[in-house]
């Protein structure tokens, strides 16, 4: 495959990505590569994290935004740029514009997390809150572009954006030349497409595997149909890859060069985020942890060495709190159960004593005394416990049964 010859179905070549890399010198960081011993044991060969969560603005989005805005003509720069985003793209456009001396306006949904709104403003953008869903925000940004002449900066559906994101692929080959599989989250497809162009030109033997959230997986049906299809996305914690339709430009690249696109569940995503935090000491947003979720769900299907791209780390603290609880539950670290006691002094203390011996941490206790199914002297107790894993959950339940308690589903 010639490095200077375009792929037949898309207008992007390796030289474009090398040019983007030169453009980004001194702007985007070469983010570190960190090994994961836990995942390496599961997969049976080395697994590394490409830590784009440690990139400036907290995600890879700065790369594409900077290359796109750098390519604007003087009269386009003078008109300013506009974007629509709930987070990462907003911050990437804001910082890139500031670095290039271009005025930026960013539309964000009314319910966007406050830390992301504040960060976008601090990077220099004029932030306007509009709409409650991204489609409404996008429409407002496009109307603004039409009315003012500002250049709309699409988050993924432009060759310059893809060229910028493809620099991640060049860095991976430099940092881990022995790589055999690269796993990357997929929303609109810009990052996966850019990585695929760079990697397949230099190392066609390396597999590139995309990962989508099951609730927002537009690529599998689109690939089956042979053209981009719009789907109705369900709610997902991985909002960074919650895209209802693949981009036209990245779709052609993904269809030709990406080896496979998989999906992961919400439980997979929360478990992956928890693993990144506990084992790797890395703060990663759910979309950024999607490659880890894929590795956790089917580790035996990946040929190593593997590089998992952690694409972003911008997660709202309140969302992080909920996701961690979800992840601990999915990992068997929480146990919820109900049982009935005789409603007399000391009964609850005896129950808690059994749990103490079983080394279960009580998080919450609820009493029900008014249910018609209960006898006059009965009380139903609902317990929420923190445990050490699935085996410990069973040990705690067994200890309660041995103590004479009936554990109800």
| Catalytic center residues | 61, 311
Parallel, antiparallel or unpaired: strands 126-129 and 334-342:
unpaired
**Helix, strand, coil proportions of the chain in percent (round to 5)?**
45, 20, 35
* Nearest-angstrom CA–CA distance, 24 and 236: 32
Parallel, antiparallel or unpaired: strands 378-386 and 361-368:
antiparallel
Instruction: Find, among 253, 254, 242, the residue nearest to 218 by Cα.
Output: 242
Name the DSSP letter for residue 130: -
* Nearest-angstrom CA–CA distance, 16 and 95: 22
Sequential DSSP letters for 149-182: -PEE--SSSSHHHHHHHHHHHHHHHHH-TT--EE
Vertex 85: Cα angle to 60 and 11 (nearest 5): 55
* Nearest-angstrom CA–CA distance, 190 and 206: 19
CA quadruple 249, 250, 251, 255: dihedral sign: positive
């Amino acid at each position: 495959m010639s490095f200077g010859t375009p792929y037949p179905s898309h207008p992007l070549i390796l030289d474009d990505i090398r040019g983007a890399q030169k453009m980004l010198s001194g702007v985007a960081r070469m983010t570190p590569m960190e090994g994961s011993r836990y995942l390496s044991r599961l997969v049976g060969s080395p697994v590394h994290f490409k830590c784009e969560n440690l990139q400036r603005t907290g995600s890879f989005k700065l790369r594409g935004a900077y290359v796109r805005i750098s390519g604007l003509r003087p009269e386009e720069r003078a008109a300013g740029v506009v974007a629509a985003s709930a987070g990462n793209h907003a911050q990437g456009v804001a910082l890139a514009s500031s670095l290039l001396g271009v005025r930026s306006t960013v539309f964000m949904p009314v319910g966007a997390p406050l830390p992301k709104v504040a960060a976008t403003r601090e990077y220099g953008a004029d932030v306007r809150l509009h709409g409650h869903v991204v489609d409404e925000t996008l429409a407002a940004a496009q109307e603004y572009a039409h009315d003012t002449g500002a250049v709309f900066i699409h988050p993924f559906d432009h060759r310059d954006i893809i060229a910028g994101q493809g620099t991640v692929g060049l860095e991976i080959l430099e940092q881990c030349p022995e790589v055999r599989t690269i796993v990357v989250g997929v929303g609109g497809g810009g990052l996966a497409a850019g990585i695929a162009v760079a990697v397949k030109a230099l190392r066609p033997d390396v597999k590139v595997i995309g990962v989508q959230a099951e609730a927002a997986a537009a690529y599998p049906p689109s690939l089956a149909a042979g053209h981009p299809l719009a789907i109705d996305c369900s709610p997902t914690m991985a909002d960074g890859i919650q895209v209802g339709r693949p981009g036209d430009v990245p779709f052609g690249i993904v269809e030709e060069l990406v080896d496979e696109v998989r999906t992961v569940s919400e439980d997979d995503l929360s478990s992956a985020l928890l693993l990144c935090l506990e084992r790797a000491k890395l703060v990663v947003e759910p979309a950024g942890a999607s490659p880890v979720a894929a590795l956790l769900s089917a580790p035996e299907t990946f040929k190593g060495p593997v590089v998992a791209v952690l694409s972003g780390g911008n997660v709202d603290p309140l969302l992080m709190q909920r996701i961690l609880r979800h992840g601990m539950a999915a990992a068997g670290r929480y146990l919820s159960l109900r049982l009935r006691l005789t409603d007399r002094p000391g009964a609850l203390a005896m129950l808690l004593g059994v749990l103490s011996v079983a080394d279960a941490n009580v998080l919450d206790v609820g009493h029900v005394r008014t249910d018609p199914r209960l006898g006059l002297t009965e009380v139903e107790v609902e317990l929420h416990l923190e445990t050490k894993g699935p085996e410990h959950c069973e040990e705690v339940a067994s200890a309660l049964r041995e103590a004479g308690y009936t554990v109800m589903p």
